[in-house]
Structure 1
């Protein structure tokens, strides 16, 4: 039986069984978790892999101990797992991609690890490669952990689902029988940032000036409608409209970024929904990502007549828990994700 402690508000919670790290390019998040995959404590820092306290392996150790050193000291027997860009070629150690189809067990079987100077072992999850014979290769690193968490929370989603993950490099992921069977990446967020910051289009967009709510909504809707009506090869022309709509005063300058956002998101949605249409009828569509960005995608989906089945929060901690269980680091628990509940 698990030991338990009582929190300051009188609730009984399980003893810690895992230290989980969601380690990306720009941030590091740590989670202390109990045997029901509940988060007992969490912390974050800006020490992503591109902003370490010092170069090399020593920098990774310094970032980890700076964030979670007291957890490591207080719980010397707890396993430590990490996912995200920490396992990339630029990370602490490279955890090579595994091929689709992939689930938490595949990730665990192909994981790698590092040994800290203190002797503490950190297990690192690999990314996932989708390389269809009739298409181009695609990769993810970090999203596979979020997918593992989402699948663990709902057995139905594990059987069949499509997961849209808005972001710098948005992913549309196909799930079947609990495994990632394929996915497509869209550089929507990065394109938006590059065009706004480093192209002619951004010169009419005033910095630090917010559009009126009605102007923002209208500009976003105009961008969506342009994407919906686009023909083959229309995107470069439609992008230039970001400038011409401003020059002709058809849209206020502060709303031009929202037109650009609607246009790029609209093109992504048009393609992503075509992928969803290839799946079986009634396939759930899930959104995972930043809440504000997911709300924008929900608005975009509404223009296409689609309502997402669910919008999920941060599923990475639960995914890291499933990864640890599949790796046998939580021996008192089943490695079957569907049998590990988030509440007792």
Structure 2
């Protein structure tokens, strides 16, 4: 059977029409993210109609992952506890109604950090399963990094997600640039701002500062974004790159330490996500000695296909 897959995040809705072999036949997206729809079922139905009303009559199941199953989603689903695999997620899935047609919602994942606090993900688990579908050798043991607003570092062992850790790197960058004193020296972003040699070096300098002097603490090092600009050491157009490198560098420092503590120091390391952002993480990882880290992009369709197979849909 073909499949309609929905990757429904907080800010974006991505709808995929998959063929009988799991191939992506058509991809559409809109800005009707779950956080914009106030948790009202009728608004989720309307958002789906606005994007793919013509798909309603097509054959096959409809499977949805992401924030659509959150507290402010179409319907809230409990998290599945780690360790978890595709069968775990499908057991906790449930249907909602799209004008007489069922839409199967998937739960997210939950684990407990070393500090005893809960850690959560919704949507990234489907990307992880898609990566295992595309590269089955990773299922035995791997560390998978999913950069983003809230970056995830996932531990895979025996085909199951056994734990993960979250870093709010992307959101911190946006908040600090837009709403802190650090952003006052930075000009408005332009499309080619990150492509200059000086910008490249500023990013590397930020990563190296986190790598070599991270013990000084991120709050202390953040002020250097301002002081380096005021001292003329880094030009204003490149300060955002230095800030990005500093934040990503601290994430990499902590994430690689978590990877080693999790017993995955020798296990494969992979990046999953949008190619341009993953390229920046690969650039930073190279400065930490992890050169040529492979990137897997757009693994959500493969993950949804694997889940549909597991659930007998």
From 82, 95, 109, give the equivalent of 2:91: 109
Structure with the higher helix share, 1 or 2: 2
Gap change, CA 1:160 and 1:254, over 3 Å in 2: same
Task: Work out the CA distance in 2 between the residues paired with 1:133 and 1:213.
Answer: 40
Unpaired stretches in structure 2, ≥5 consecutive residues: none
1:137, CA displacement in angstroms?
1.3
From 200, 206, 214, give the equivalent of 2:197: 214
Task: Work out the CA distance in 1 between the residues paired with 2:278 and 2:114.
Answer: 32
Deviations 1:91-127 (A, max 9, x none): 00011101000111100001122123x2111100000
From 135, 153, 175, give the equivalent of 2:134: 153
Alignment of 1:199-238 (within 5 A): 199-208=180-189, 210=193, 213-238=196-221
From 93, 115, 137, give the equivalent of 2:118: 137
CA contact (8 A) 2:207 2:248 kept: yes
Partner secondary structure for residue 229 of structure 1:
helix
TM-score, normalised to structure 2, is: 0.94
From 81, 86, 93, give the equivalent of 1:99: 81
Query: 1:8 matched to which residue of 2?
Result: none
1:290, CA displacement in angstroms?
1.5
Task: Work out the CA distance in 1 between the residues paired with 2:187 and 2:22.
Answer: 45
1:45, CA displacement in angstroms?
1.3
Unpaired stretches in structure 1, ≥5 consecutive residues: 1-15, 330-344
1:309, CA displacement in angstroms?
4.3
1:208, CA displacement in angstroms?
3.6
Backbone CA RMSD of aligned residues? 1.7
Partner secondary structure for residue 308 of structure 2:
helix
Query: 2:297 matched to which residue of 1?
Result: 313
TM-score, normalised to structure 1, is: 0.86
CA contact (8 A) 1:284 1:308 kept: no
Gap change, CA 1:301 and 1:255, over 3 Å in 2: same
From 268, 291, 308, give the equivalent of 1:324: 308
1:281, CA displacement in angstroms?
5.1
CA contact (8 A) 2:285 2:293 kept: no
Task: Work out the CA distance in 2 between the residues paired with 1:59 and 1:242.
Answer: 43
Task: Work out the CA distance in 1 between the residues paired with 2:123 and 2:50.
Answer: 22
Task: Work out the CA distance in 2 between the residues paired with 1:101 and 1:213.
Answer: 44
Counterpart check, 1:178 vs 2:163: no
Query: 2:224 matched to which residue of 1?
Result: 241
- How many residues end up aligned between the 2 structures? 310
1:153, CA displacement in angstroms?
1.4
1:195, CA displacement in angstroms?
0.6
Deviations 1:155-212 (A, max 9, x none): 2101111001111100110000111001000011111111111000000001145367
Is the deviation greater in 213-222 or in 256-265? 213-222
From 17, 20, 28, give the equivalent of 1:35: 20
Task: Work out the CA distance in 1 between the residues paired with 2:148 and 2:259.
Answer: 19
Is the deviation greater in 171-180 or in 299-308? 299-308
From 44, 52, 74, give the equivalent of 1:60: 44
Task: Work out the CA distance in 1 between the residues paired with 2:27 and 2:44.
Answer: 18
Is the deviation greater in 148-157 or in 91-100? 148-157
Query: 2:246 matched to which residue of 1?
Result: 263
CA contact (8 A) 1:285 1:308 kept: no
1:134, CA displacement in angstroms?
5.6
Query: 1:333 matched to which residue of 2?
Result: none
1:260, CA displacement in angstroms?
0.5
Task: Work out the CA distance in 1 between the residues paired with 2:161 and 2:78.
Answer: 17
CA contact (8 A) 2:4 2:63 kept: yes
Gap change, CA 1:115 and 1:47, over 3 Å in 2: same
